[in-house]
Amino acid sequence: MCGIIGYTGGEEAVPIIIDGLKRLEYRGYDSAGIACQCDAKVEVRRCKGKISELDSQLSDFSGSSSTAIGHTRWATHGKPSEENAHPHRSDGIVIVHNGIIENYIELKQQLEGEGYVFTSETDTEVICHLIKKHSEDKSLTEALMEAIRSVRGAYAIAAMSEKEPGRIVAARKDSPLVAGIGDGECFVASDIPAFLAHTRKVVFMEDGEMAVLSPEGIEFLSLEGKPIQKETVTIDWNAAMAEKGGYRHFMLKEIFEQPRSVADTITGRLLSHRTGEINLEEFGLEDQQLRTLEKVTIVACGTSWHAGLFGKYIIERFARIPVEVDIASEFRYRGPILQDNSLFVSITQSGETADTLAAQRLAQAQGTKTLSICNVVGSTASREADAVFFTRSGPEIGVASTKAFTAQIVALYLFSVALGRAKGALDEDGARDLINDLLTVADLMEQTLLSDPEIKGIAKELHKNKAFLFLGRSLQFPIALEGALKLKEISYIHAEGYAAGEMKHGPIALIDDGYPVVVCAPKDDLYEKVVSNIQEIRSRGGTIILITNESNKAHAAGISDYVITVPDCPTHIMPIITAVPMQLLSYHIGVFLGCDVDQPRNLAKSVTVE
């Protein structure tokens, strides 16, 4: 939610900020702005719309600036408009903010009583006026420190003052912030890709920390003003990994990256290919801990929650211990019961999702061991969890999650085999066979991606439909849910995912002439049952799009209007493969409808507010 970036150094700041904001646009994209220090003044430009709009408005900007802050917004308080866009200003103070200030109404009333004039509907403006108020007799750093003592809520803030050229002061609580250290230049941003083209040396800021940036370097402070020593980490991604690389959209690039991304998730996680033994150190867990485990609780949001559902099926199947899966926003408020000898697993691509973090903290407060399956290195979830398993998918820029999802599934599969071995539910041969199956996944995905032109053709014929139903059973049920979520996110078509066996209990009422139903049904032990559901849909005029395995093609063709085949493979790895045509179908439908598939309306990639 919202992206912020600050730069101070020897280069022209405006292009650096604009480029950084474009790379943060996945966090929000309804309005944007920049504040630049030019001589002794700070100039602010803001607009409604995307960064490209801001960029074109800057064409008449002739000033020279080497210190600036920028913001791309996902509206929480106040509609997307120029007035509500950041940076906000109070005389010579300007700030950008990500997060929510919960007590802003009382602070606003207080400040209005003191004569401060508000020009926006945002919660952010109170922080700006508070800094201004305290800066009469204090430095920017002290004034920001003082200001945040009065606010309640979540924030990542970057501030500048006309009185202190070349300086940016930043602070964080419950919203991500990372600093970058270059040669004679420093950066602060919501996420690493914002400055990855300039430096790979980063410092992850923790809650309650401040950073004072100047071209000479960064000083980290506590909220009491005490210096803090921080570790500098060198990131192993390069800027090209966050580029489109010739693809029309990030989403398409990320779908096609999946063979490599799942291979990266597996690489180094096996102690021996021959025995299928998994390196538990990679999960930050010990065999002894797994042996005594009696329950697993998985918590996540959105697509990551769908991966969690897959986790339930696969862990219960291979490790034979009960698994509970919950949506983080439900879990955190329902007084969950976390029994002894249980493991809490958070699944989060960004590692910054507010509800998932709150759920993880709640589990920790109850003394439960936590494992985070996470993609973003240095993210809050990964730093706070007792143990972390990085999915290593590389940066996922498309707002709709694709490669992170399949990597999460692979991580859960590895975990289920490790747990199965530790619990004695799998013997060595069984584990080895399961791992050997997993090692074929990258190739199977490559083969599946070859069906892209065919899937595009089906999307062309179907894209004008107003609603879709997605059905799957057992391990294919989470894939049906994910298919429906992908379609609604990027094409704005109403789509529902259902367990195929539930169809008769309500959704069948939706079916009429031509109603499209995407069914994920490889030939497995439940296939015949799903075929009955298909017949029920067909006899009511529904259109069937059947995703099944290659050797079942002839049968599938006899009972459906469209068949998409994937290579034959064992049932337990099939969901990793069937996810791919689901993603491609949604992608092409979104593109045919002219939607912005990388940045769908109303969404943000990193949901850092409740």
The site for ligand F6R (CB under 6 A) is made up of: 301-304, 348-350, 353, 356, 400-401, 485, 489, 607
| Phi, psi torsion values for 169, nearest 5 degrees | -115, 135
d(CA 394, CA 441): 18
Q: What angle do CA 89, 91, 97 make, to 5 degrees?
A: 25
- Of the two residues 303 and 548, which places its CB atom closer to ligand F6R in the complex? 303
Q: How far is the CB of 382 from ligand F6R (least distance, A)?
A: 11
- Of the two residues 271 and 603, which places its CB atom closer to ligand F6R in the complex? 603
Angle subtended by helix axes 477-491 and 574-592, to nearest 10: 20
- Of the two residues 384 and 489, which places its CB atom closer to ligand F6R in the complex? 489
d(CA 463, CA 425): 46
- Of the two residues 84 and 348, which places its CB atom closer to ligand F6R in the complex? 348
Angle subtended by helix axes 302-319 and 403-423, to nearest 10: 20
- Of the two residues 303 and 571, which places its CB atom closer to ligand F6R in the complex? 303
d(CA 404, CA 394): 9
- Here the tokens at position 352 are 């910054």
Alpha carbon 219 to chain centroid distance? Answer: 29
Q: How far is the CB of 25 from ligand F6R (least distance, A)?
A: 15
Element (H, E) at 32: strand 31-38
Instruction: Please give the positions annotated as active site.
Output: 2, 605
Q: How far is the CB of 490 from ligand F6R (least distance, A)?
A: 8
Angle subtended by helix axes 452-462 and 574-592, to nearest 10: 50
**Adjacent-strand bridge partners of 370:** 344
Q: How far is the CB of 314 from ligand F6R (least distance, A)?
A: 18
d(CA 167, CA 66): 10
- Of the two residues 31 and 380, which places its CB atom closer to ligand F6R in the complex? 380
What contacts 267, CB < 8 A, 6 or more positions away?
392
d(CA 531, CA 317): 24
d(CA 168, CA 7): 8
d(CA 28, CA 399): 10
Q: How far is the CB of 51 from ligand F6R (least distance, A)?
A: 21
- Of the two residues 67 and 349, which places its CB atom closer to ligand F6R in the complex? 349
**Adjacent-strand bridge partners of 545:** 518, 562
The residue assigned the tokens 């100047």 is 214
Q: How far is the CB of 475 from ligand F6R (least distance, A)?
A: 19
Q: How far is the CB of 491 from ligand F6R (least distance, A)?
A: 13
